[in-house]
């Protein structure tokens, strides 16, 4: 599967098969892709927690409120991405440029993870709606949690939806 095919066929899954466990080897491949993702000064300013079993059920509960993310009750695995400190070089560069690159680095790493998950036949959904304090309690951390990614197999019949994206000419300006 080439990258463009992965991009065309990856979607946010909201219907997981809770009877099908995710193989550790596939999770390790996704984590390796994330590890290899570029980051400012190679700082990798994040810490990862893979939640499975009872911990995954608790993490899923922390993502459901106000009618949001009801599907997470069936998710077998969650990747929780916590922001961490930069190395000295990236920290200095961020101060000089007035730009905190950590959220960009976390976004790139998450994209690598979800792309490899698709290549492995897994489904994902990137979640920004969660109870951070509850997650910090579950994970025994005080760090800033940026994203939660649900991971599993899509239920049979979860068809690929047509992508709704801007046309390329609405995104790109060509100069020169």
Chain segment 118-127, per-residue pLDDT in tens: 999 999 999 9
DSSP assignments along 73-113, one per residue: GG-SEEEEEEE-PPPHHHHHHHHHHT---HHHHHHHHHHHH
107 close to 37: Cβ distance less than 8 angstroms:
no
Tens of pLDDT, residues 37-81: 999 999 999 999 999 999 999 999 999 998 999 999 999 999 999
Global pTM reads 0.94
Provide the pLDDT for residue 51. Answer: 98
Length of the chain: 176
Provide the pLDDT for residue 151. Answer: 98
């Amino acid at each position: 599967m080439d990258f463009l095919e992965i991009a065309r066929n990856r979607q946010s899954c909201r219907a997981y098969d809770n009877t099908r466990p995710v193989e550790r080897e596939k999770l390790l491949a996704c984590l390796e892709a994330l590890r290899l993702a570029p980051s400012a000064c190679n700082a990798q300013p994040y810490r990862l927690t893979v939640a499975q079993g009872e911990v995954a059920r608790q993490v899923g509960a922390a993502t459901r409120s106000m009618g949001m993310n009801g599907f997470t009750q069936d998710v077998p695995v969650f990747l929780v991405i916590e922001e961490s400190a930069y190395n000295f070089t990236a920290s200095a560069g961020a101060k000089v440029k007035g730009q905190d690159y950590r959220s960009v680095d976390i976004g790139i790493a998450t994209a690598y993870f979800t792309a490899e998950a698709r290549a492995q036949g897994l489904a994902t959904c990137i979640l920004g709606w969660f109870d951070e304090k509850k997650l910090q309690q579950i994970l025994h951390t005080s760090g800033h949690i940026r994203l939660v990614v649900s991971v599993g197999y899509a239920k049979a019949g979860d068809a690929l939806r047509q992508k709704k994206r801007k046309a390329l000419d609405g995104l790109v300006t060509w100069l020169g």
